Amino acid sequence: MTIGRIIFSIGCILIFTGILLIASGFPISVIGPLLIAAGLITVPLAVFEGKIPVFGMVCIFTGILMVLAAALIFLILGASLFVPYLLVILGLVLIASGTILLLRQC
C-alpha cells in the first residue's frame, strides 16, 4: 500500500468515527465535526495527490488533532472505550506518514 492509500483509509475512518460520535450523542459536540472535517480534508488530498509538502503538513496537523481528540475522549469517557485508542494509533500513523512525505522532498 502506498502512503496515499493509507491516508485515504484513515480519512474515511475519521469521517465514520465523527458520524458515529455525533449519532451517539457524545457530550462534547466539537469532536465529531472536528473528526469529520479532518477526514474531509485528508481524503481529497490523498485522492488527487497535490503538492507533497502541503500533503505532509496537513497529515501531521490532522494527526495532532486526532491525538488531542483522543485525549479529550479518554478524559471524559475513560479507558473502557475502544475509540480513544484507535484515534491515538491512527493519529500517530498520520504523523509518521506526514513526516515521511516531508522527508521524501528533502
Note the pTM of the prediction, 2 decimals: 0.77
Q: What is the pLDDT of residues 16-75, one digit of tens each?
A: 888 888 888 877 788 888 889 888 988 888 887 767 788 888 888 888 888 888 888 888
Please give the radius of gyration of the chain, using alpha carbons only, rounded to the nearest integer.
Answer: 14
> Cα 49 from chain centroid?
17
Q: How far apart are CA 21 and CA 15, in angstroms?
A: 10
Report domain extents, the chain: 3-105
- pLDDT of 55 reads 82
Residue 101: CB partners within 8 Å, gap ≥ 6? 3, 52, 53, 55, 56, 59
Please, how many CA atoms are within 13 Å of residue 70, restricted to the half-sphere of its CB? 19
Least confident piece of the model among 35-44, 72-81, 83-92: 72-81
80 or 90: whose pLDDT is higher?
90
Is the pLDDT reported for residue 96 higher than 80?
yes
